[in-house]
Amino acid sequence: MLKKRFSLLFLITFLLILSITIGSEDLTLYFSFENGSEEGFLGTSERVKLSIVEDVVLDGKYALKVHNRLSSWDGCRVSLTYNLLPEMNYLVSAFVYHTSDKPQPFQIVARIKDIVGERFELIGETIAMPKVWKEIKGNFKFNYSVYLEALDLMIVSPNESGFDFYVDKIQVLGPNKVSSPGSVVNSTFESGTVENWEARGDGVKILVRDNVAKTGKYSLFVTGRTRSWHGAQINLSKILETGKSYDISVWVYQSSGETQKITLTMQRKFDIDEKTRYETIVWQKSIPDKTWVELSGSYNVPLNVKIEELILYVESPNTNLEFYVDDVKVTDRTLVLGQPEWEIPSLAEMFKGYFKIGVAIPFKVLINPVEAKMVVKHFNSITSENEMKPESLQPREGEFDFSKADAYVKFAEENGLVVRGHTLVWHSQTPNWFFVDKDGKPASKELLLKRLENHIKTVVGRYKGRVYAWDVVNEAIDEAQPDGFRRSKWFEILGPEYIEKAFIWAHEADPNAKLFYNDYNTEIPAKREFIYKLVKSLKEKGVPIHGVGLQCHINISWPEIEEIENTIKLFSTIPGIEIHITELDMSVYTQAGEEYKTLPRDVAVRQGYRYRKLFDMLKKYKNVVTNVTFWGLKDDYSWLNQRGRFNYPLLFDKDYQAKLAYWALVSPNVLPPLIQIAKMASGQAVVDGIEDKSYKSAIPVIINDGERDVAVVKPIWYMSKIFVFAEVFDGRKDDTDCLTVFVDQNNAKSPYLQSDDVYFKFYRNGKIESNFAPMLKNYTIREKETGYTIECEIQWEIIGEIQEGLEILN
């Protein structure tokens, strides 16, 4: 469909300090207010007042003050209707400052209005501490239907009103004005050469052409293909590095007259590979005729390998297809682009009255001044990630290397931290020499016990009085075995005796150290029971064991927090036992096929709420839970990234920035609402306040106030009707008690009510409020001992019969 745009340039010239080719790749819009005016900015509502001020500025002389905010969505806006073009990537940034007495969220939001209606798109967001300038930034690409009526850039603080805020240095940059930090390949072919690209296959030719290009003047033309794997390639063997993750983007174009398939592949050979392997990055993406399409994905190079060959290539199952390649970018996504937020609260201080907050770190953190300072700011307990494991301390019999372990202990002592030692006995990362004699045969029981005793007493004795807790035995339980014991080499030679001996010898080496048994999946009932029996029996025998370490490698949906709580309850019934959470992280993935190039906002929000729920539970057991240690300082340091995809399991991102998971623990008021999506089952009901059988098939929506579930809502639909049954858990009756149901008929998710939006507020006392009562066909409210129930029937008005897949209910 033809899209029309009308430009009235004289209306917008006052907005710009610098504007190069309005709407183009070279666009630069900059608002600094240094001319003493609002530069086109208005309030998001008529009541909002804007002022140019000199008392609070980022730098320069002036900034824009936003005050008289009576609604959380009261902020400032500027029209960019005639400045930006659709389907183009822009970088938008601004600095904000506020006078609230607590952290506040800020957002840059685009308001887009076209023939379809009005919608809002989030561009960027941040959490700002009081009286500290903070940058918000984000990428923005938009589209519209038929014609663009309005495009506004809004800066708002969406959670609360009643405080003033300031903005300064707002900037909008076109793609050519945005630098690409971390770029290791940037093939634009604007040099007029093939730029290290090669033909792949006999007879294939690659030529630089100027008849078509994604951007600029030139692209790479691929012709002469006769096999599906023929195409164009670039050798990355000496460019990519081990232990890093890369984003890859390749634009392709073809003019065969019909849609074709094109694939992006990495040809790889590591020292661990017996033969060359081929890893698909993008599989047979549909490329319409005469249309540039992006092939994008990510590629991870494992840490402990040697790269022999890495070749990126473009191919097609159509053996005769000619195609073009342009704007190839390979970017190191692990490159750090920021500095820690020194102004935010310390995690250790926030939980001072509950338990120690620890972090497991690799040695490289200790020798990085910025990261070491970050550790000291947020944590009061440290664990060496690998440097105190047997293979690190005694790689060969009798040859101990304490250089790195000593550095951890010294760092902790100099900075007032405590050390958790990890780990003395484990089936993994233990040199094989422990288990064989001088002739290479399996070690005898006597020899292995002697070696174990020597290792434990040497290590624990060296740090007597300096390491406050040890994971003495790690992961000795396997619930799949009839007796529950892992069939490790320790067990095969010594039987379960080695566990008891390890604790005794560790205690003899340091009688004041706290000694722990440590394991994962302690939330699984069968494994939990085996660990309980083991620890209880050790305690009853008088073996010096002081606690259980729950590793807590969890994800955003598993396990239930209640199962972790059940584990704590069970283990705490053993007299004299403490609980440490020893290796906490929360994967954002729930199944093998998932992978996110960047962390989706809804997943980050979900992770935040789950971290909050976990810590709210842990705080209830502060008398038994005495240490909570995160397994990693920031996301790119997580061991989970070694599993072939980048994960986001910790509180800080790769650029040291606090995620919503951090704020969920420190200042949960800043969390966005947790949006829950449930499929609405089909069915009818009699509206009488009693739950019909039809609701049994509904997927319930749980409403949680951060501490407990306060309501369960079950919606069903039939033809043009919606039935809702809700149970509210509130034993204290009050006339202000109510439940509000919103129906967003155009699914715009606007921050305020639009003309199509309908709400029904059901008060516990029987009253209702609505902006369109005729849609409510029937309702009833019933009291219960635990609270009250609401049931209603809503008639769909605008769109007609409800269709499968339609999003309607908030």
DSSP 535-592: HHHHHHTT----EEEE--EEESSSS-HHHHHHHHHHHTTSTT-EEEEEEEEEES-SST
Of 790, 774, 792, whose CA–CA distance to 782 is shortest?
790
Q: What is the pLDDT of residue 774?
A: 86
Question: Is pLDDT of 240 > 80?
Answer: yes
Q: Give the C-alpha separation, 53 to 32, whole Å.
A: 12
Q: From the centroid of its chain, how far is CA 173? A: 26
Judged against a pLDDT cut of 70, whether residue 740 lies above it is answered with yes
Range of lowest pLDDT (507-521, 572-586, 737-751): 737-751
* Pairing of β 277-287 and β 260-270: antiparallel
Kind and range of the H or E run holding 490: helix 489-494
Told to judge if 135 belongs to the known catalytic residues of this protein, a careful annotator would answer no
Q: pLDDT value at position 795?
A: 86
d(CA 387, CA 83): 55
pLDDT at position 675: 77
- Position 27 scores a pLDDT of 87
Confidence of residue 750 (pLDDT cuts 50, 70, 90): low
Nearest to 252 by CA among 206, 285, 223, 228: 285
Sheet holding 768-770, edge to edge: 738-743, 758-763, 768-770
Q: What is the pLDDT of residue 12?
A: 29
Share of the chain above pLDDT 70, in %: 94
pTM here is 0.81
Q: What is the pLDDT of residue 751?
A: 60
Catalytic-labelled residue, pool 25, 583, 727, 791: 583
Taking residues 194-210, report their average pLDDT.
97
Choose between 720 and 639: higher pLDDT: 639
Residue tagged active-site, from 475, 578, 727, 793: 475
**Residue 10 DSSP label:** G
For residue 103, give the nearest of 33, 159, 46 by alpha carbon.
Answer: 159
pLDDT of residue 16: 36
> SS3 string of 649-679?
CCCECCCCCECHHHHHHHCHHHCCCCCCCCC
| Residue owning tokens 């609505």 | 770
The C-alpha atoms of residue 11 and residue 9 are separated, in whole angstroms, by 5
Three-state SS at 82: coil
pLDDT digits (tens, 9 = 90+) for 40-90: 999 999 999 999 999 999 989 999 999 999 988 899 999 999 999 898 889
Q: Can you give the pLDDT at residue 753?
A: 67
Q: Is 479 annotated in the active site? A: no
Question: What's the rounded Cα separation, in Å, for the pair 324 and 214?
Answer: 9
For the ranges 341-345, 371-375, 394-398, 690-694, the lowest mean pLDDT is seen at 690-694
How many whole angstroms separate alpha carbon 47 and alpha carbon 50?
10
Model pLDDT for residues 82-127, shown as the tens digit of each residue:
999 898 889 999 999 999 999 999 999 999 998 888 889 999 999 9
pLDDT in tens, 497-555: 999 999 999 999 999 999 999 999 999 999 999 999 999 999 999 999 999 999 999 99
Q: Where are the beta strands (DSSP E) in 174-276?
A: 183-187, 197-200, 205-209, 219-223, 231-235, 245-253, 260-270
Give residue for tokens 């309501």.
711
- Cα–Cα distances (Å) from 609 to 352, 521, 659, 740, in that order, read 21, 21, 12, 22
